[in-house]
Amino acid sequence: MLVLALITLVLHGALTGLFYSFSMSVMPGLNAIDPAQAEAAMRSINRKIQNGWLYLIFLGSPLAALAAGFLADGMAATWFFAAAGVNFLGSFVVTMAINVPMNNAIDAGKLSYQDYSPRWTTFNTLRTVASAAGLVLVGLGLTEL
C-alpha cells in the first residue's frame, strides 16, 4: 500500500509540475514572440506532448489515487478518493472539455494564437491548481497510513 501511495504522490507531483511549467514559463515565453511563431510552436508542442509519459501521469494520477483509496482504510481512503475526484474533475475533465478542443482548433487554423493563449492559459492554471490540490490530498492520505 505504501508503494502505491508513493507512486500516486509522484504521479500527482509530475502532473502538477507539467501544468505549472506551461502556465508560468511556456505560455509567457510563447506570448513574448511573434504570434505566428508562437502558434507554430504550440502546434508542435501539442503534437509532441502526446506520448506515453504524458498518458502515464495524466491517466495514472487519478487511477492510482482511486486504487489507493480502495486499498486504504479510514481517513487515508477518504483523502485518496478525494484526490482522485479533484484530479479527475480539475485535470481530466477540463483537459478533455476545454484544452484539447482548443488545441485541435489552433491545429486546424480555426483559432488565432491571440484568442487561444489567454483562455488556454486560464484553464491550464485551473488544471495546475486542481493537480496541486490533488497532490496535497495524496500527501494527507499518506499521513494517515
Contact predicate 5/138, CB 8 Å = yes
Average pLDDT, the chain: 98
For residue 145, the model assigns a pLDDT of: 95
For residue 143, the model assigns a pLDDT of: 98
Calculated CA dihedral for residues 8, 10, 12, 14, nearest 10 degrees: -150
| Residue (of 8, 54, 17, 11) closest to 128 by Cα position | 17
- The DSSP secondary-structure symbol of 81 reads H
For residue 74, the model assigns a pLDDT of: 97
pTM beyond cutoff 0.85: yes
Percentage of the residues of the chain whose pLDDT score is greater than 90: 100
Look up residue 133 and give its three cell numbers: 490540490
| Residue (of 9, 45, 8, 40) closest to 25 by Cα position | 45
Number of domains forming the structure of the chain: 1
Q: Which domain holds residue 124?
A: 2-143
